[in-house]
Structures are given as C-alpha cells and as structure tokens.
Amino acid sequence: MFYNSLGTSGLRVSRLCFGSLTIGPLQAGLSISAGASVIRRALELGVNFIDTAQCYDNYAYIRHALKGWPHRVIVASKSYDYTREGMARSLEEARREMDLELIDIFLLHQQETALTIAGHRPALEYLLEAKEKGLVRAVGISTHAVAAARAAAVMPEIDVIHPLYNQAGLGIIDGSREDMLAAITLAHNNGKGIYLMKALGGGHLATKARQSLQFALATPGVAAVAVGMQSLAEVETNVAWFSGREPSPELLAQVEGKKRRLHIGDDCQGCGNCLDRCSQGALQLVDGRVRVNEELCILCGYCAGVCQDFCLKVI
C-alpha cells in the first residue's frame, strides 16, 4: 500500500480509503461481524483510512473492526447538522459509537454552494473549537458540487475536501469534470487535503474499474480515493490495484460483472420525502410511487435514509 500526506493536515493516509457506506443498512446490510471482518481485512492489508458519516448508520461496524487493532487508523465522518448544538451532538455520537477519543476528520456533509457552507457556519465554528480542544484533527466538507469545492478551496479554516470526481464526470451536479478538476487543483495549491468519492461513478464505471481507479489516483493533488467495498474479494482486488499489482483471475472473477441498482419496495406510499434528498435529481413520483432514473442515479444510497417505510435500498 502507498501512503500520502493529506494536504497540510498532518495526517498520512493510505491511498485506498475504505468507503464504509456499502456495508451498512443503506446498502448491503451486512451483519455487524461480517461488515467488521471486511473492514478488518482492509486494515490487515495496509489500509489506514476509513470514511463514514452519521447518516450511514454504521459506526458499530467500525467500532468492532477497530477493537484490539494495534495500529493507527484515520477515521473521517460527516454530519448534515448546521447548528452548533447539532454538530456537537454529531461529534459526540461519532466518538461514543466508534469508541474513539477523537475523530481525525469531521466534514460538513454534502455542501452545494458557498451559501450552503455559510449556512453551516455555526456547525463549522463548533468543529473548529473541537479541533482546538483536540477532539478533531481536521475539518472540511464533502461535496458533489464544483461551487462548494471552489468555495472551500479558498477558506483558510478548511483542511480537507472530499469531492465527487470520476473520469466520466458522473454525478457532478453543477459542472463538468474539468470544472471540478480546476477546483481540486485550486484546493490542493492552497494546502487542502483531497480525497475523492465516486471514482467508479456509483457503479456506472464498474466495468472499467481498474482504469477508472487509475484515473482517479493519477489526479494531481489527490491524496486518497474512497472506494465502497462490501466483500473480502472487493477489498483484496482494490488493495492490489492501489498497490500497483494485478489481482488474481479468481479474485477478479468474483468482483466483475456485479451490477448494483436502487431497489424500490412495493410499499412506497409516494410521500416524496426521498426526492428532496437526491441531489442528482434521479427520483420522481409517477402515479403515486417513486421511480428512479438509473442514468442519473449514482447509487449513493442517501435517499434510503429518509424513507420511514424502508422502501429504498441499494442492492
């Protein structure tokens, strides 16, 4: 495994970041012990960086995976909270549920514009104070939007940016791949640590996985790439690619051709709550039920978290 400095944050991370959304209730719904085993395998193979979020509802998997692990692991989490009190609760929940003294990286989740970031100012102020107290090492944003990445790139108080970026530009909500690259370059030149999400376009680029990951890794200024994994075979394949090796044909056969999709349960009541959560505009109501446009859906699973009837799941 190769390791990089995450901007000027002082953190040194494996180029492969374990994207943990995939193991939890919004996606594979593995048992705690099965999901923790997948994370643990990644740690054994040199991964030292795990990405999670409050809304992934998967802190218990990470707590189990880290229990007794003797080496340092850098955990990044995120919260949608925009108030000081809400962010304080979010950080406390992350520390408690993962049994961690501090959370290395805490991000404002899914920011869209400079205005969105400004609207989260009280939460950001809380995180900066938490950083002063040693409860957080680095603060920043995650985003699918060029405008937010560009705005965060010039904010001195932002240490880390977690932008959506892939070779096809899939999922960027307000611009092209080139626009996002310009924002990433600006951020890197300003000392921000960059780790990417959705290098495989939420599964749309899965048939070109190796090439897509190499593209992401070759992006100037990128310290790491978060990849969602939910099986030992996926971990071993990605570790091989990120270490400059070829996985065995047997491993490749296990991971190739696995197509994911958003499953919508029959009991959808058509309340429309999930439409607001989808920044990709992939959901619409048709005849009183939600429908997904698979061309637009990046399989992030975020809509699943707001459906009180548990109708949505990435499978």
Q: Using the rule CB under 6 A, which residue among 270, 276, 291, 315 binds ligand SF4?
A: 270
Binding-site string for ligand SF4 from residue 11 to residue 40, where x marks contact by CB under 6 A and - marks none: ------------------------------
- Among 98, 196, 225, 307, contact with ligand SF4 (rule: CB under 6 A): 307
56 part of the interface to ligand SF4, by CB under 6 A: no
List binders of ligand SF4 among 152-191 (CB under 6 A). none
In terms of CB distance, is 47 or 300 closer to ligand SF4?
300
Minimal distance, residue 53 CB to ligand SF4, in Å:
13
Distance CA 236, CA 215 (A): 19
When the beta carbons of 203 and 247 are compared against ligand SF4, the nearer one is 203
For residue 132, how many other CB atoms are within 10 A of its CB? 9
Site for ligand SF4 in 105-144 (CB under 6 A): none
**Environment class of residue 206 by beta-carbon count within 10 Å: exposed (0-12), middle (13-18) or buried (19+)?**
middle
Contact call for residue 312 and ligand SF4 (CB under 6 A):
yes
Is 278 one of the binding residues for ligand SF4 (CB under 6 A)? Answer: yes
Amino acid at 276: D
3-state helix, strand, coil in the chain (%, to 5): 40, 20, 40
Residue 160: which of 310, 10, 312 has the closest Cα? 10
Which listed residue (272, 276, 291, 315) binds ligand SF4 by CB under 6 A? Answer: 272
Instruction: For residue 272, give Cα distances in angstroms to 57, 125, 184, 235, 283.
Output: 22, 33, 34, 36, 9
∠ CA 143-203-280 to the nearest 5 degrees? 40
Residues at the interface with ligand SF4 (CB under 6 A):
262, 268-274, 277-278, 280, 282-283, 290, 292, 297-303, 306-307, 309, 311-312, 314
